[in-house]
Amino acid sequence: MLNFFKRKKYPEFWQKHIDTVKNCKKYANYENIRFVALDTETTGFDYENDRILCIGAVAIQNNRILVSDSFEVYIKQDVFNKETVKIHGIRKNGTEIKVSEEEALIAFLDYLDDAIIIAHHTKFDMTMINNALKRLNVGPIQSKQLDTNYIHKKIATEDRFKKLFSLDELCEIYNVKKHDRHTALGDALITAYIFLKLTFKYKKNNVLNLTELINTNYYLNK
């Protein structure tokens, strides 16, 4: 009976993830925080049945986007939806080198390290990733998460009560070129640009620290 409650032993990569996030002491000093802007391309929008095809991510530290610290992985999936191929351009038997979902997630967690996650409509990407982790009997991701949509809403002067701003709308508002839209790493870079511009604006009227940023979207991190 006691055995039943005993904490189950996690696979090594997951235990490492939990420990890394728990033990990170960087978060107090904003300049030292490593942010990772990420985006996923998926077969569709169904959390249960759709699958991740690609994860792209790039790191930001001290207001700089570090291209040398970026991540791009394509994933082999049995689920295939020819409708969304039009959007992301990832074919079932395309030329990209693809790895299994497990390999991709392990590599991603290793890359993620102790970083804070930034995405646009973060809930979607994170749910897709967490459901994939669930298939490996682990998850959800422990890292703190931010959403450019909510940071924007905090400082927006117009349409503040609109629920959602699309990535394209934010590109218009913040004058970001839309290169490589709908590739995971391309969208991750756009998200990173928007994040930099948002935090600059944010700093003018607010104290820029992690707690404040996280409070822009409390629900994501509860």
Residue with Cβ nearer another protein (43 or 70) = 70
Q: Is 97 in the site for another protein (CB under 8 A)?
A: yes
Q: How far is the CB of 21 from another protein (least distance, A)?
A: 25
Nearer to another protein, 56 or 145 (CB): 56
How many Å apart are CA 182 and CA 195, to the nearest integer?
A: 18
CA 175 to chain CA centroid, nearest Å: 22
Q: Which of 180, 209, 214, 221 binds another protein (CB under 8 A)?
A: 180
Quick one: which of 7, 9, 179, 222 contacts another protein (CB under 8 A)?
179
Q: State the number of binding residues for another protein (CB under 8 A).
A: 27
| 2 counts as binding another protein under rule CB under 8 A | no
Name the segment binding another protein (CB under 8 A); options: 11-19, 139-147, 160-168, 181-189. 181-189
Q: Which of 66, 87, 164, 208 binds another protein (CB under 8 A)?
A: 66
Find the binding residues for another protein in span 36-65 (CB under 8 A).
56, 58, 63-65
Please pick, from the candidates 26, 124, 197, 206, the single residue that binds another protein as defined by CB under 8 A: 197
Pattern 101-140, binding to another protein, x per CB under 8 A?
Answer: ----------------------------------------
Among 50, 72, 113, 169, binds another protein (CB under 8 A): 72
User: What is the distance in angstroms between the CA of the first residue and the CA of the last residue of the chain?
Assistant: 31
Question: What whole-number distance in Å separates Cα of residue 72 and Cα of residue 186?
Answer: 10
Output the DSSP codes for 96-129. Answer: S-EE-HHHHHHHHHHHHTTPEEEESSHHHHHHHH
In whole angstroms, the minimum distance from the beta carbon of 91 to another protein comes to: 15
Contacts with another protein, residue ranges (CB under 8 A): 56, 58, 63-68, 70, 72, 74, 96-97, 175, 177, 179-180, 183-186, 189, 192-193, 196-197, 200
